[in-house]
Structure 1
């Protein structure tokens, strides 16, 4: 047992030996007293010694030294965290705070655990999610989380001997803090160097108040180098007149005048200003000393350059040279030397216009020679007070802005094309309904073997083929009817792999790979099979166009957080996704074609060998299923299509109405009165004839108001068959008006749009849907079922 001191340890080998000897001595004494034999008593004593020795030996052999439990020495971790300028904290598996440095205490106002920081709800949710991602992936990060009014970035890393701790590191947002950064420079060594060069500098906010000033300015303005200047109005520290110029207010009239130089640190009205004051020696040369100008530019942390009246560079700082791709040792002579040939004239004309005083400031979109594929903004401003300099140039990196504009334009175009495709499909479905219906009526009067029977069948077959094209258009516009189920992507791929091997042919090898621990997704299995088939067939055609076979690889796997961030969180939110990847070894997709591949009717195949609806159908199915699809390709190296489906969580079942199962029967005859409402004359005529042939009495109207007027004089109908989209009064409005009079009347809607979309927009119970185009048989069955269910 372990106590407080060494002398208090009981039960060691020495104590056991002493106890055994004492027991042997007592036993020997008793024997000697009883029988009086010294030999026998000695024998007892010797036996006791032997037994004690054996016992001690066994105890030493079997007793293990106590194992000291190792405990973590967090003092070392705290010392390391304290040496870091960033805010660092360590939390355990239960979320408790193990240690943190002083920077963390200063930032958070104490030592709360990171998930318990006083943040806004969105920032707290992002911070909590970052911690969960770090437990799962080992590392996670988030940007622009506002703590105590300051944006910071956080990096979380799982660490520890058993990987049971999280290390949280908070760093300042890696953007230019214009006021804070320059203020620190003016208060520090750089400000002192400017003072040694004869420059008095101050940083002013938008109201003209001093944010910071160097020691030289404080000494001239107040007489003390450490005098407080923050919050002062610089205009109140200066006086001036036309004869003596500008001087400090605290100095007498004989003091030397100063010249004021101003640089606006932005293009807006609320941007800060950097002001430099130098001794006015009475000559333009003293005012425009290149050394003073270069010193002033060097303290500004973003790219600036000065151009003289001849259009030549006068000075530029290191940030401007780095952004422009210029060599500091051999700077360019003219601004036009930095841009591509097509932009040289525009830059030269803009600089010339500003040197003559014709403009104040403007932005010009240019392309640099080092990055000809990216557009950057060149800000040009007329300036005065820098001696021979007349134009100020600065760069604005708008690459991210241009990328977002392209993505928004592409998304807007796809949405507009989708709406157009859906409208075309809807109108085309009305035409196909009439064609198919008339074919069905004609087939009732002709039997196989008649001279017209085969022609009618051919017309009907071509109409059904056209109907399949409209379904593809509806798929692209995300308006088709889906029957989603919770399923595993490997099961879908396995179902269609046998068909794919026949479609791909003998020269194309199909390779299927499945990852482990894949999350279930919710989608229509039939539509997913169409997605896989379309992409695989496209891959086969690309490889056959190469003149030989190749390999098509279909892979299912779990998407990583790093992969999602690479895709762009503004496009696809961070979450759990299961990825389906289809890659080929074909010719690849040219860069100029890649942005257009999902547009309907766009195809690179020869005329007559493709409708251009394959990939657009894939795009619509994936989007309607809540997924995301990306195409990556390099010419000559094949293409890869990656589809991400959100992992389905238990309890997220959407309330999608199911059509009740019915017993198949060929008996479609019925009786009763049906009110038919359809604005398309050809569809109304075919539907009226079809229902009349089945035994119904049909009352027809061309819009909702005409139907209500008809109901005023007619008896209660047995069924309302109505189109959804109609002029004057649409189908749902008509149905609500009829239900007020006949609450239990069954309603059958006809539409060329998706059933799911219509159910979300129609707040009526016990209604049935019949998609267009439909045949006479399908209309009769739908009417029979609606009456039976009603």
Structure 2
């Protein structure tokens, strides 16, 4: 039965109608009476039987209504009204679909945003969006949750979160959350009602934000005090013009200051471009505005008033500039200079000097158009000289009564927003590349297993000095080099096996210092500085040493003429992280490792690509481009963050932040004991080898047979179970993990039910750590691909010798 919500939010169940049951009951009674009359021939007895049957049915129906049957907990119909009420209260639209793809529940807000209650993922007619949501839904069924960001629905932009839910996890919960868009109105509202509004008031500036209808939306304390007499007065929603008066000389005053009040100078800052019905540009009075009022200087004087306005504009947090009727720049504040990338003390002659050559004519025409005629406002899209790839909106508004100033120009400082967008895009790209790299490494490991295994088998037939021996050794050496590349790919994709321990970063730096001195050479000086009160971190010491070595080698190559390499460790408490205002780094306690050099530096256009695999600026044959990508993968898999900083000609710095380990027992992770080495690899017994790759299965079978084992083979898990069922004794099961039809873990789980003590050796091109998280089977051994013949023989011997290898 399926549960839905009616318009009143009540749940109802789809079940057979009671109107259909009554005719069926009457028909059954008549047929029974006819049958009795036919057999006995007594009309009274037949009618009495039919009446009795109807009375019993009526009593049962009445009893069922008085005492409804108890619903088993596992069969209870979900009460969607709670989820619906919670969604409506949180401004989040929800929809619930079952495994058949049917819509079983939806909130009112979902129906408002998507009329007709369409069934996700087909919420709109856009094929691209439907495909994207379908992929996300499949990912949610598989992984438990998924997310799609920036779904456009009319004027809304929604983030879609999909989660598998329900007692049996047989539903998908779709949550549509509106993305809050940045608004100049909100920014100005916070400005006026916050500390900045108070400072403006202390400077003698009254500030008011009004809507297009002329009613007050926000005001600072200075205006409230002079216009209403109290700083806590509530004038929101009142007509702004009602608080003002104009005398016979067209001078502006506050209505409350009838006698002795000073005339006011009014500066209008449009906050939103107005669009008329025919699509033409509207007047500044058509939209919300920020009104700034200051006392008119005694005796007038445009120059002094302009200086006062410049002082005011320099206090505002958004970029503002003023230009005269000829388009010359008269003033710009620090925020404007920062947005356009001006150096301290640098002032452009014309606004067109700040944009690329193609946009200079458009900017000059816009300034001249707004400098004459009625006061107008509008926006144009331009590309800044220092950021030609990112168009920005330049707002212009005509101003009057400020001396030479005729046009007010404004730019929003979105440098942090743009930086965050680039970082998010980079992280998304790196994640996609990492997934691809992990898949390539897995497939390549299968190929390398076959190559290395066949080389080992051929080397057994050739002694040193044979004509083919050296060639075979060269093939095996190159194969091992390729295996090293796959390990780096797995490190980049965060899928390599880590052995984390509780450690201190200064200890790791001390252990690797002697190696660094040999690697850096005589013309590079190594400096090491350690801070105090560093917290312990949880990481793999060997991998962290590789991180330091890779960064040091890159720094050495960046200093061909010599220089200084500085390695520094220091503590970064949570309060310091908050002061950094780093969008990517969550607030918390960290231990930091900084590796800096005095080399040539990294160009800005290359800085965003340095962590990508196979990206290198070195000459052909001098590097693989996997050094920094390996560093990135190790740091991210260890739960840390890495940032690169560089300035051309002043070197580069790489800063790694590792979270401080909060475990109570610092000895939780014990050192891994080395297994006892045994030279003898010959053995006896029967081994079942399950591998879907023909080349890997062939070389493993030959290798194990040469060691004295009896080897039975199977192509997948289903064939492996058949061999187990038809064979009396299997001493060891060696299986690949990922196989078609039935994978290795499923086969082992079924085999352990019949043979609980069966030793198991898993082999896979994926990393052991990733597999152990997904395989919930105790007492199994693991052999990573690629492996040699001797490594396979040793792993089989150890698995048979100890019976099993505990996690």
Shift in Å at residue 477 of structure 1? 1.9
Selected match of 1:177 from 191, 202, 207? 191
Selected match of 1:366 from 368, 377, 383? 383
Which residue is 1:524 aligned to?
A: 540
CA separation in 1, counterparts of 2:234 and 2:516? Answer: 78
Decide whether the 8 Å contact of 2:763 with 2:784 is kept in 1. Answer: yes
Selected match of 1:492 from 500, 508, 513? 508
Decide whether the 8 Å contact of 2:687 with 2:709 is kept in 1. Answer: yes
Which residue is 1:412 aligned to?
A: 428
Shift in Å at residue 589 of structure 1? 3.2
Which residue is 1:676 aligned to?
A: 689
Shift in Å at residue 433 of structure 1? 0.4
* 1:222-233 equivalent positions in 2, closer than 5 A: 230=235
SS of the residue 2:558 aligns to: helix
Which residue is 2:785 aligned to?
A: 772
TM-score, structure 1 normalization: 0.59
Counterparts in 2 of 1:759 and 1:513: CA distance versus 1, 3 Å: same
Counterparts in 2 of 1:691 and 1:701: CA distance versus 1, 3 Å: same
Worse overlay, 752-761 or 174-183: 174-183
Which residue is 2:417 aligned to?
A: 401
SS of the residue 1:670 aligns to: coil
Which residue is 1:343 aligned to?
A: 359
Decide whether the 8 Å contact of 2:601 with 2:646 is kept in 1. Answer: yes
Worse overlay, 204-213 or 429-438: 204-213
Counterparts in 2 of 1:579 and 1:384: CA distance versus 1, 3 Å: closer
Worse overlay, 776-785 or 557-566: 557-566
Selected match of 2:713 from 691, 696, 700? 700
* 1:613-652 equivalent positions in 2, closer than 5 A: 613-651=626-664
Selected match of 2:459 from 437, 443, 455? 443
SS of the residue 2:773 aligns to: helix
Is the radius of gyration larger for structure 1 or structure 2? 1
Asked if 1:727 corresponds to 2:740, the answer is yes
Worse overlay, 633-642 or 412-421: 633-642
Worse overlay, 596-605 or 649-658: 649-658
Shift in Å at residue 338 of structure 1? 4.7
Shift in Å at residue 323 of structure 1? 7.4
CA separation in 2, counterparts of 1:754 and 1:725? Answer: 12
CA separation in 1, counterparts of 2:778 and 2:670? Answer: 10
* 1:273-292 equivalent positions in 2, closer than 5 A: 273=289
Decide whether the 8 Å contact of 2:525 with 2:563 is kept in 1. Answer: yes
CA separation in 2, counterparts of 1:304 and 1:746? Answer: 74
Which residue is 1:789 aligned to?
A: 803
Which residue is 1:265 aligned to?
A: 271
Decide whether the 8 Å contact of 1:305 with 1:320 is kept in 2. Answer: no
Root-mean-square deviation (Å): 5.6
CA separation in 2, counterparts of 1:183 and 1:315? Answer: 25
- Deviations 1:191-218 (Å, cap 9, x if unpaired)? 99xxxxxxxx975458975446999x99
* 1:193-208 equivalent positions in 2, closer than 5 A: 203-204=209-210
Shift in Å at residue 689 of structure 1? 1.8
Asked if 1:430 corresponds to 2:446, the answer is yes
* 1:600-619 equivalent positions in 2, closer than 5 A: 600-619=613-632
Which residue is 2:393 aligned to?
A: 378
Decide whether the 8 Å contact of 2:395 with 2:411 is kept in 1. Answer: no
Decide whether the 8 Å contact of 2:683 with 2:708 is kept in 1. Answer: yes
Which residue is 2:698 aligned to?
A: 685
SS of the residue 1:492 aligns to: helix
Which residue is 1:144 aligned to?
A: none
Shift in Å at residue 463 of structure 1? 1.2
Decide whether the 8 Å contact of 2:193 with 2:220 is kept in 1. Answer: no
Shift in Å at residue 481 of structure 1? 1.3
Decide whether the 8 Å contact of 2:323 with 2:329 is kept in 1. Answer: yes
Structure 1: runs of 5 or more not aligned? 1-172, 193-200, 239-259, 278-288
Which residue is 1:577 aligned to?
A: 590
CA separation in 2, counterparts of 1:177 and 1:479? Answer: 48
CA separation in 1, counterparts of 2:517 and 2:605? Answer: 31
SS of the residue 1:645 aligns to: strand
* 1:743-782 equivalent positions in 2, closer than 5 A: 743-782=756-795
CA separation in 2, counterparts of 1:204 and 1:175? Answer: 10
- Deviations 1:267-318 (Å, cap 9, x if unpaired)? 79999556899xxxxxxxxxxx99999999999966678999x996999997
Shift in Å at residue 770 of structure 1? 0.8
Counterparts in 2 of 1:230 and 1:646: CA distance versus 1, 3 Å: closer
Decide whether the 8 Å contact of 1:559 with 1:578 is kept in 2. Answer: yes
Shift in Å at residue 741 of structure 1? 4.1
Decide whether the 8 Å contact of 1:376 with 1:398 is kept in 2. Answer: no
Decide whether the 8 Å contact of 1:375 with 1:399 is kept in 2. Answer: no
* 1:52-67 equivalent positions in 2, closer than 5 A: none
Shift in Å at residue 682 of structure 1? 0.9
Decide whether the 8 Å contact of 1:676 with 1:700 is kept in 2. Answer: yes
Counterparts in 2 of 1:681 and 1:274: CA distance versus 1, 3 Å: same
CA separation in 2, counterparts of 1:583 and 1:228? Answer: 57
- Deviations 1:350-400 (Å, cap 9, x if unpaired)? 78999999x9966625326xx6689673254899999xx999854211111
Shift in Å at residue 459 of structure 1? 1.6
Shift in Å at residue 508 of structure 1? 3.7
Counterparts in 2 of 1:464 and 1:349: CA distance versus 1, 3 Å: farther
Shift in Å at residue 700 of structure 1? 2.6
Counterparts in 2 of 1:638 and 1:671: CA distance versus 1, 3 Å: same
- Deviations 1:638-661 (Å, cap 9, x if unpaired)? 444333333334436798799775
CA separation in 2, counterparts of 1:332 and 1:516? Answer: 47
CA separation in 1, counterparts of 2:512 and 2:329? Answer: 69
Shift in Å at residue 675 of structure 1? 3.0
Which residue is 1:109 aligned to?
A: none
Counterparts in 2 of 1:460 and 1:568: CA distance versus 1, 3 Å: farther
Count, aligned residues: 575
Which residue is 2:473 aligned to?
A: 457
Shift in Å at residue 735 of structure 1? 3.0
CA separation in 1, counterparts of 2:644 and 2:411? Answer: 33
CA separation in 2, counterparts of 1:490 and 1:298? Answer: 51
Decide whether the 8 Å contact of 1:374 with 1:399 is kept in 2. Answer: no
Shift in Å at residue 228 of structure 1? 8.4
TM-score, structure 2 normalization: 0.57
- Deviations 1:532-580 (Å, cap 9, x if unpaired)? 333333333333x22xx44434444444678756765323334443333
CA separation in 1, counterparts of 2:373 and 2:552? Answer: 63
CA separation in 2, counterparts of 1:709 and 1:338? Answer: 76
CA separation in 2, counterparts of 1:725 and 1:429? Answer: 13
- Deviations 1:225-279 (Å, cap 9, x if unpaired)? 99988355659999xxxxxxxxxxxxxxxxxxxxx999753479999556899xx
Counterparts in 2 of 1:433 and 1:230: CA distance versus 1, 3 Å: same
Shift in Å at residue 665 of structure 1? 1.5
